[in-house]
Structure 1
Amino acid sequence: MFDESVSKKIHVPLVLSMFIGLLTILINFFYSVEDIRSEVYSSQSKELRAAYVNGLREKKVIALTNVINLSSNYSIIESLKSQDRNVAIAGLQTLSRKFKEQTIYKNIKVHLHDANLRSFLRTWDVEKYGEELAGFRKTLRDVKKNKKAIATIELGRAGLLVRGIAPIENDGVYLGSVEFMQGFNSIVKNLRKNREYETAFLMKEDYLSVATALSSSPKIKEFVLAVKEKNVDKDFLNSLKGVEIEDTKNFQISDEYFLVSEPIKDFSNVIVGYALIGEKTSMVETVIAKAKSSLLKQVYIIFFIDIIILIYLIIIVRKKIIRPIVDMEKMAQELSL
């Protein structure tokens, strides 16, 4: 009886404390699961934003690099210098063919402007020229004033475009400027191919008076699609009807997609539209499940180690404490007889 009494007084608190410790670990696990979800959502939203920002930065670098090279093109300089459009037409046709054969750019758009900021040559519409541009092309006025190449987003009849614009000078004389234009379709394609992300570029409906080429594009709330519809996943496009397009601070979850919104700002830093970047919610949930599984494995390991420690302590306590006490009690009883 004495053996059992001592054993209970030592073992029960030991087991109880171990049980409380394990219970604390389990409670912490469930709280940690929610923390994991929040951390994954945060990290995934940052990755989506970074992917878009990097894609846009790459676009601007390409625009700037190409337009700087074009500003040194002999045909362009001689054409503006002599005011002979045919020289530039022939030179740019050759250049366009080389781009098509040797690069991913199959249909480059180059626009030349004369020193008075009038349209001199459009490669996609050579018969249209002479238009006065100074009144509504702030970028051209900036390039003429500062004599420095720029890469920016600017609205036009075709919608939202990344434009590289560089000054053209000859012996210190300002001859005009050259413009290299790109759309956003390649960003949509590259993010899908490289990251399995879906992307849609939306322009504010208010600008349709300028971007007349987008008048028949799909509309979502107060916005219109600013890239080719065939390049955007239909399910992703439909999912945008249920999200806050102008919410650029928080991530959002639709029926099928986890997504974020990034503002599209023009040369004057005015928001002209939004880029929506997303991935399947199933992909995000997979990341969360893997993190939870890893955490659960840690809980199992801790539980297993705690059980081993408990068993070890019980054996040690029994051998080193309980048994000597019981032996001493028996000895005391024998001496008292």
Structure 2
Amino acid sequence: MSYNVNNTSKGALIKTFRAFALFFGLFFVLILTLGFLIYRANHNLYIEDAKNSVESVLGLTQELISHEKQLALSIALMLAQNETLKEGYLTNDRALLFETLQREISKIKQYLQIETLEVQLHTKDAKAYVRSWDFEDYGDDLSTFRKGIALLQQTKMPLVAIELGKRLNIKALCPIYAKNEFIGSLEIIIPFDEVAQKLNAKKINFVILMDKELLEIGAWMKELTQIDHYVIVSNSCPSECINALSSIISTSTVERGFARENGVLFGFTPLFDIEAKQVGYIGIWFAEALLKESLLLRASLSPRSTPLHVKTLEPAMEESQKHEILIR
């Protein structure tokens, strides 16, 4: 009799133990599942926040590039009114034109506190007349490969755009008139250095990637670093950054527009030329730690909506020059 009671007690204990084991097992699995779901939700929220921050910085980068375009156009409009330049055109005095450019460029650089500025003068039939960086190099026909100059010849309208010539950079073009007669045009050339410096000050790296196929036109860029199908036209970082880019850049990555690797966030957006044709990509990347400062980045990087440079430099144009200004 006692034997049956003991067996019954042991059986009950075993059933109870199994029930508790099953309960705690299911509870443990439930906790793990909830933990995984919470982790995935938090991870997805983090990635979404990271993408938004990258998109925000790309937007700010485009605003800074637009600011540089406005600056280049303002300088072009101002120099087109320089009476000494007009005199040099009318007397066919290239030496006077070159000396005037050197003097004016020096003053503009000092006033605006910019490091790099180049000017090219064109004849009225779109040939290179005077280049601020090389007095001896002139006479080549620019209308055959320079879309901006060809457009100016047609419209006689000031314009600014990112344009591919022998280099890819910001170019502002403006017609020059003397006594209401078109006598030539000038071109202000600004690289992306100022944009790179402003972003670099905020611990953001910047790069311009040009499609390698365009090297046939951009002859001066053939010696630049190439990664995958792209040429690094401008960048704000030393060689170790190039190594970081080498590991991340591919056609699929830049088309996707976002990447994350080793605690660094990368963003890319298409870059278009004066004809709205894609010539490459604008790229930025920064440490994930900067995510906490994204709002500060927006406040500190955003340029003035009405830059002082534009207001100060833009001159009154002659009646013959009162055309719409084209910004692309």
Query: Is 1:150 matched up with 2:159?
Result: yes
- Structure 2 contact 145–165 (Cα < 8 Å) conserved: no
Structure-1 residue corresponding to 2:247: 242
SS in structure 1 at match of 2:100: helix
Report matched runs for 1:1-337 at 5 Å: 33-34=42-43, 36-157=45-166, 159-193=167-201, 195-227=202-234, 231-246=236-251, 247-284=254-291
Cα distance in 2 for partners of 1:26, 1:265 equals 45
Q: Could you report, residue by residue, the CA deviation over 1:1-57 in whole angstroms, capped at 9, with x for unpaired residues? A: xxxxxxxxxxxxxxxxxxxxxx9x999965752453144123212212112111111
Q: Could you report, residue by residue, the CA deviation over 1:107-162 in whole angstroms, capped at 9, with x for unpaired residues? A: 421000011111110010011111111211221121122121111111122x2110
Letter in 2 for 1:75: T
Q: Could you report, residue by residue, the CA deviation over 1:310-329 in whole angstroms, capped at 9, with x for unpaired residues? A: xxxxxxxxxxxxxxxxxxxx
- Structure 2 contact 85–97 (Cα < 8 Å) conserved: yes
| Aligned-residue offset at 1:249 | 4.3
- What is the percentage of aligned positions where both structures have the same residue? 20
- Structure 2 contact 101–132 (Cα < 8 Å) conserved: yes
Cα distance in 1 for partners of 2:113, 2:182 equals 32
- Structure 1 contact 198–233 (Cα < 8 Å) conserved: no
Letter in 2 for 1:116: D
Point out the structure with the larger helix share: 1
**Which structure 2 segments of 5+ residues have no match?**
1-30, 295-328
State the Cα RMSD in Å. Answer: 2.5
The 1:35–1:122 alpha-carbon spacing in structure 2 relative to 1, beyond 3 Å, is same
| Aligned-residue offset at 1:92 | 1.4
TM-score (norm 2): 0.72
Cα distance in 1 for partners of 2:210, 2:44 equals 36
270-279 vs 93-102, greater mean Cα deviation: 93-102
Letter in 2 for 1:122: R
Large movers: runs of 4+ above 6 Å: 25-29
Structure-2 residue corresponding to 1:312: none
The 1:249–1:86 alpha-carbon spacing in structure 2 relative to 1, beyond 3 Å, is same
- Structure 2 contact 212–231 (Cα < 8 Å) conserved: yes
SS in structure 2 at match of 1:226: strand
Q: Could you report, residue by residue, the CA deviation over 1:270-300 in whole angstroms, capped at 9, with x for unpaired residues? A: 222212101113433x579xxxxxxxxxxxx
The 1:42–1:225 alpha-carbon spacing in structure 2 relative to 1, beyond 3 Å, is closer
For the pair shown, the structure with the greater C-alpha radius of gyration is: 1
| Aligned-residue offset at 1:187 | 1.2
Letter in 2 for 1:239: A
* Greater RCO (Cα-Cα under 8 Å, separation 6 or more): 2
